[in-house]
Amino acid sequence: MTAPGVAYDRRVELQAFENTKAGVKGLVDAGITTIPAMFRHPPESLEGITSPSDNVAAIPTLDLSAARRDDAVALVRHAARTVGFFQVVNHGVPADRSSWPACSRRSVVTDYGEAVTKVVLCVLELLSECLGLSSDHLREMGCAHSLNVACQYYPPCPEPHLTLGHKRHTDEGFLTVLLPDGMPGLQVLVDRSGAGGTWVDVPHVPGALMINIGDLLQLVSNDQFRSAEHRVLANKSKDTARVSVASFFNTDMSRSTLYRPITNGHNPPIYPFQKKKTPRSTGVTAQEFMATFMSIGFDGRLLDYYRLEQDPPTPHV
C-alpha cells in the first residue's frame, strides 16, 4: 500500500517487482495477504467476476470419435460463428497430465505437441468445410505450421475480487488449444449484441480440450468465424494453484504469404486492405499482423485496425 501523501508510481513498483526475479509465485511464497496496487484492476473491468453465469450451454462439446461428419461440421460452424469457443473430447491426446510419462520434459512437450497438432488439423478440416471449402483448404494455407506452447500458472490469490489472472483479450493467431487442470476461472464474452455481452464461465468437461478461434482466422473467414474475447479470473483457491497448457497455432512467421478474407465471390470483404495504409494493398503477412498486435497489445481489438472504415482500435478496460 502507498503511504498517505505519497504519490503512487506504478512503473516504479513494476520495476521493483521485476528486479526480484521471483515472479508472482514469490509473492505467494512470501505469504502476502493483500495484493500490490500494480495488480489491482478498475471496478469496471471486474464486472461479473463474482456472479456465476448460468449460460454454460453456450460452449458446446464435440465428440471427435462419435459425431457424424455433418453433425460435427454443424456444431463447429455454430460455435465458431457465435461464441468462438468449443470443447472436444475423445481426441486422442493424454489430457490427464498425471498420466504423462516420467521422462524428459522435452520429450513430453514434443509428444504432446505432435498429438495436439493432429487434433488441430482435424478441426481445421471441419472449419474449412464450414466455409464451403475443401477440407484441406485452411491446412494448406498454413494455419498450423507454427506451434508455441505456454504453461500458465495462477497461484492462490488473497484478494481475487480485486484483480484478474489475465485481462480481457483475444488471441492473435489462428487457433488456440487449452489443456486445463479442472479448476474454474476461464470466462468468455458471449451475446455481444445488445448490452455488450455476458461473461460466461467455460465449464469443466473431464478430458476435454478447449479450442478457440484467433484473430487471424476471423480475418481470413471474413468474420464468418468469431475471435472471442476471454479472460481468466484470479484463483480463489486457498491452497492450490491453477495450471493450464496453452498451444497457440499460427503460420510460419518466416513466410511472406499474404492473408486476406475468403469471400467466395458472394460476400464483400470486411477487411479491404486497399482502403488502409498498409505495406500491401491485397492482404497482410503474418509478420505485419503480429507487428500490429505488438503495437496495440491487450488494450484494444487488433481486428479493428484492419476493418473497413474503422478508427484506430478502441481501448477497453
Which range among 8-12, 15-19, 196-200, 260-264 has the greatest average pLDDT?
Answer: 15-19
User: The whole model's pTM is what?
Assistant: 0.87
CA atoms within 13 A on the CB side of 167: 15
Q: Which residue has the higher pLDDT, 159 or 282?
A: 159
Please list, in sequence order, all residues whose beta carbon lies within 8 angstroms of the beta carbon of residue 244, skipping any fewer than 6 positions away: 151, 152, 178, 179, 180, 181
pLDDT, tens digit (0-9, with 9 covering 90-100), for 53-94: 556 568 999 999 887 999 999 999 999 999 999 999 999 998
Q: For residues 261 and 220, what is the distance between their CA atoms, to the nearest angstrom?
A: 4
The per-residue pLDDT for range 171-203, each reduced to its tens digit, is: 999 999 999 999 999 999 987 555 668 889 999
Q: What does the mean pLDDT of the chain come to?
A: 85
pLDDT tens, position by position, 243-267: 999 999 999 888 888 898 998 777 7
Q: What percent of the chain has pLDDT over 70?
A: 85
Which residues have a Cβ under 8 Å from the Cβ of 43 and sit 6 or more positions away? none
pLDDT number for residue 268: 83
pLDDT value, residue 136: 96
Burial of 51 per CB tally in 10 Å (0-12, 13-18, 19+): exposed
Q: Is 167 helix (H, G, I), strand (E, B) or coil?
A: strand
Axis crossing angle, helix 105-130 with helix 69-82, rounded to the nearest 10: 90
Query: What is the four-CA torsion angle of 93, 97, 101, 105, rounded to 10 degrees?
Result: 100
- Calculate mean pLDDT across residues 214-226: 95
Neighbours of 108 (CB within 10 A): 15
pLDDT tier at 281 (50, 70, 90 boundaries)?
low
Q: What is the pLDDT of residue 88?
A: 96
- 33, three cell numbers: 495477504
CA angle 96, 217, 87 (to 5 degrees): 30
Indicate if the pLDDT at residue 160 is higher than 50: yes
- Which of 178, 196, 246 lies closest to 45 in space, CA to CA? 196
Which has more confidence, 83 or 103?
Answer: 83
Residue 97 has pLDDT above 90, yes or no: no
What the block records as the C-alpha cell of 295 is 503495437
Rounded average pLDDT over 292-301: 81
The whole-number pLDDT of residue 313 equals 45
pLDDT: which is higher, 31 or 306: 31
Give which of 281, 227, 291 is closest to 258, Cα–Cα: 281
